[in-house]
């Protein structure tokens, strides 16, 4: 297992193979990931503890889903999304292995373009 520090908290990568990746994202209350999409990466989120808002879409088309413990969401490639922590939240993420496939559209921490989440 490896821990990766992020401006919004940290992620624990607990599984990484050529076919899939398993992570736990710990997002600190009030923090948010970038508004982003993936060209190839497909992922499913499961709320382990806490609450978050999952914003799907962009502009006037944004839909916000309040997610609580045991709620899940399957995120297909090209889906614009952002996680916003309502409380400290732990999110189990299982995805295809394209970890560098991140296109950032907006970021609260000054990270831009295509890179790691």
pLDDT value of residue 58 = 87
CA dihedral 39, 41, 44, 45 (to 10 degrees): -80
Structural domain tally of the chain? 1
Q: Express each pLDDT in 67-98 by its tens digit.
A: 999 999 999 999 999 999 999 999 999 999 99
Boundaries of domain holding 30 = 2-107
Q: pLDDT band at 114, cuts 50/70/90?
A: low
pLDDT value of residue 116 = 47
Q: How does the average pLDDT of the chain come out, rounded?
A: 94
Give the global pTM: 0.91
CB 61 within 8 A of CB 45: no
Residue 64 CB neighbours (<10 A): 12
- Residue 117 counted as domain residue: no
- Residue 114 counted as domain residue: no
CB 66 within 8 A of CB 51: yes
Whichever domain contains 29, its CATH number is 2.60.120.10
DSSP per residue, 27-68: E-TT-BPPEEE-SS--EEEEEEES-EEEEESSGGG-EEEEE-
- Residue 115 counted as domain residue: no
- Higher pLDDT, residue 115 or 28: 28
The Cα 106–Cα 113 span in angstroms is 9
The Cα 68–Cα 51 span in angstroms is 5
pLDDT value of residue 7 = 96
Q: Which tokens hold the place of 25? A: 């994202």
- Residue 77 counted as domain residue: yes
The Cα 73–Cα 43 span in angstroms is 8
């Amino acid at each position: 297992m490896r821990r990766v520090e992020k401006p919004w908290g940290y992620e624990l990568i607990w599984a990484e193979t050529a076919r899939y990746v398993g992570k736990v994202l710990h997002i600190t209350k009030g923090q948010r990931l970038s508004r982003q999409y993936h060209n190839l990466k497909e992922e499913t989120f499961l709320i382990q503890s806490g609450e978050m808002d999952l914003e799907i879409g962009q502009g006037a088309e944004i839909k916000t889903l309040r997610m609580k413990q045991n709620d899940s969401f399957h995120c297909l490639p090209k889906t614009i999304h952002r996680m916003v922590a309502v409380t400290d939240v732990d999110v189990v993420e299982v995805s295809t292995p394209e970890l560098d496939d991140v296109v950032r559209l907006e970021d609260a921490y000054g990270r831009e373009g295509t890179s790691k989440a």
